[in-house]
Structure 1
Amino acid sequence: MKVLGVDIGGTKIRFGMIDEQFNVHLDTKVPTSFPLYETLEREILNLLHSHPEIERIGIGTHGFVDSKRGRVVYATDLLPGWSNTEVKSQLETATNRPVAVDNDANVAALAEATLGAAKSSERSICLTLGTGLGGGVILDNCVVSGGPHGGAAEIGHMILYPHGHPCPCGRKGCAEQYVSGTALKRRIEEAGLPYTPETFFENIQHDEQAEALVKAYTSDLAVVISSLQAIFDMDTVVIGGGVSESASLWFDYLHEQLNQHLLNPIEVKTAQYENDAGMLGAASLVLDL
């Protein structure tokens, strides 16, 4: 059997034709253009015309997703006009194939749990430290998603500091305002340090102010992980996103902080499938139907 895994991002949409052994037979992408649904349907129909052997379609997308209905409940201005789109029902009508839809962080977590860094774990959480703080939760090999507002496992919007830094969600003090890649950039600028997020970690060993900042950053991340452990009792935490590319330079600080907060030891790993996780995880949604 072959399925189509679709990863919808703010700048591009990636399509992969994937079999049950997760071999990739086709990997293509197009620029994200709007109206988004019309672009998505057109490109998928073109692929089905060329590859009628595709039996099912899985989609990972930015936004709050009601995974049972396959509906995008809310998406930010990154994907204008995408909120309230009934993706599953519209695509199933257009393609005559089963369709499953979920949040992009959830499908990335599913890829890591199925194939990647958390493959040996039944309970894992994948955190992506990028523009925001994405999160996906896998419990007993099942992804936690959906909810009446599509907001299950929106880890980045847990309140870390009440009345803290404003978040685009409209509240203050959300975790992603302190431990995302964007938050790291803001912290560096507020500290007046002459580094970019890409060069920051290279300088923490010989700059006391930079080292203090990374300790504060990893302390906040450790609190997030510890709080999640108290709720989910996971075996493994997988960290992806742009900040994870420098993990070798700051993981020791994180482990030092975790030792002060964790209820029980857990494995913390870097993501194995960074750029491919969305496409592979989207395929996983429908390979198990």
Structure 2
Amino acid sequence: MEKVLGVDIGGTKIRLGIINSSGQILYEEKIPTNIPLYPYLEENIMRILAEHPDVQAIGIGTHGFVDPKQGKVIYSADTLPGWSNTPVKEWLEKATGKRVEVENDANVVALAEAKFGAAQGLNRVVVLTLGTGLGGGVLWDGKLLSGGPHGGAAELGHMILHPNGVTCACGRLGCSEMYVSGTALERRIKEAGLHMSPPELFQQATTNPSAQKVVDGFTTDLALVISSLQAVFDMEMVIIGGGVSEAAAMWMEELQQKLETGLLNPVEVEVARFENDAGILGAALLVL
């Protein structure tokens, strides 16, 4: 049975997993994201390949704008300094002698959920990954909507949500990822004068009015994002993944209430079936 390495590169951590063709994770590890990123990534991949020589190919999902044809990171903002313009596929294929495919991280989550997870059998799906930023993946008639002349297709986190709002890492004002992401939640908590982590915020929202107000702002903005996306894609399902989705049981009901009045038509909203494993599974699917 074929074995491949799936790599999920985020702003704070990198997950690496060996996966077989039926989607089983045979080995997995998590390392912190270190800068400069490329030599560190290559070193860790070479280490894993030395331990698992039967790995046949490597799939990589990364934060940032990606040209999947060239396997090159076009742009990655300040989340991953120096990562822009890195020809990941070319360099890694040369170093490893194996086939390498590269795609945006939220796109690979969409692949994983469509193949093995919450969106099995569906044709039009929008995935939102709420982590360091807000990633977007769109499955359009069963195919991944990706690439584009600047590698920026389905960069849903950079739709303007609040004109002249908070400055985004991309340099513009009011991008949706500045309101709907793990980093955005941390900023909202700080601005409210609270001293707690996002998971604690959701836990305390039922008893603490200040915490509830932050959660209300977050769910209102997330509902707005979903409503705007529905007007463009008329999707069958929205899947929410990334670190913030781990606490979804505590805020999903509130989001659903806001969507009832905000949507043109009802749409199913589900939490990513694989939560944090979706990134490595989807990356593996690029080469399986």
TM-score by length of 1: 0.89
Query: Offset at 1:25?
Result: 2.8
Query: C-alpha distance in 1, partners of 2:37/2:167?
Result: 29
Query: Offset at 1:45?
Result: 3.6
Between 114-123 and 200-209, the greater mean CA deviation after superposition: 200-209
Which residue does the alignment assign to 2:166? 165
Which residue does the alignment assign to 2:5? 4
SS in 1 for 2:188: helix
Alpha-carbon contact 2:125-2:237 (below 8 Å) kept: yes
Does the C-alpha gap of structure 1 residues 223 and 55 become closer, same or farther in structure 2, counting only changes over 3 Å?
Answer: same
1:224-235 correspondence runs (5 A): 224-235=225-236
SS in 2 for 1:205: coil
Which residue does the alignment assign to 1:124? 125
Query: Offset at 1:11?
Result: 4.5
Which residue does the alignment assign to 2:37? 36
Query: Offset at 1:193?
Result: 4.4
Question: What 5-or-longer segments of structure 2 have no aligned partner?
Answer: none
Query: C-alpha distance in 1, partners of 2:120/2:98?
Result: 29
SS in 2 for 1:14: strand
SS in 1 for 2:179: helix
Which residue does the alignment assign to 2:67? 66
Which residue does the alignment assign to 2:109? 108
Does the C-alpha gap of structure 1 residues 169 and 96 become closer, same or farther in structure 2, counting only changes over 3 Å?
Answer: same
Query: C-alpha distance in 1, partners of 2:11/2:219?
Result: 28
Query: C-alpha distance in 2, partners of 1:69/1:18?
Result: 24
Query: C-alpha distance in 2, partners of 1:188/1:121?
Result: 36
Which residue does the alignment assign to 2:275? 274
Report whether the alignment pairs 1:56 with 2:57.
Answer: yes
Query: Offset at 1:230?
Result: 1.1
Query: Offset at 1:59?
Result: 0.7
Which residue does the alignment assign to 1:180? 181
SS in 1 for 2:58: strand
Query: Offset at 1:46?
Result: 4.1
Does the C-alpha gap of structure 1 residues 283 and 191 become closer, same or farther in structure 2, counting only changes over 3 Å?
Answer: same
Query: C-alpha distance in 2, partners of 1:196/1:35?
Result: 28
Q: Deviations over 1:194-249 (max 9, x none)?
A: 65422222333344454344333212111100111111111111112333222222
Does the C-alpha gap of structure 1 residues 258 and 130 become closer, same or farther in structure 2, counting only changes over 3 Å?
Answer: same
Query: C-alpha distance in 2, partners of 1:209/1:79?
Result: 33
Does the C-alpha gap of structure 1 residues 6 and 208 become closer, same or farther in structure 2, counting only changes over 3 Å?
Answer: closer
Alpha-carbon contact 2:242-2:276 (below 8 Å) kept: no
Query: C-alpha distance in 1, partners of 2:244/2:202?
Result: 10
Percentage of pairs with the same residue: 59
Q: Deviations over 1:259-281 (max 9, x none)?
A: 11211111111122122121111
Q: Deviations over 1:7-63 (max 9, x none)?
A: 223454333222210122332455544443233333334444443432221111122
Report whether the alignment pairs 1:87 with 2:91.
Answer: no
One-letter amino acid of the counterpart of residue 71, structure 2: G
Which residue does the alignment assign to 1:249? 250
Query: Offset at 1:155?
Result: 1.0
Query: C-alpha distance in 2, partners of 1:282/1:126?
Result: 15
Between 246-255 and 228-237, the greater mean CA deviation after superposition: 246-255
Query: C-alpha distance in 2, partners of 1:101/1:15?
Result: 14
Which residue does the alignment assign to 1:23? 24
Query: C-alpha distance in 2, partners of 1:112/1:38?
Result: 30
Which residue does the alignment assign to 1:201? 202
Between 210-219 and 256-265, the greater mean CA deviation after superposition: 210-219
Question: What 5-or-longer segments of structure 1 have no aligned partner?
Answer: none
One-letter amino acid of the counterpart of residue 205, structure 1: T
TM-score by length of 2: 0.90
Query: C-alpha distance in 2, partners of 1:89/1:222?
Result: 40
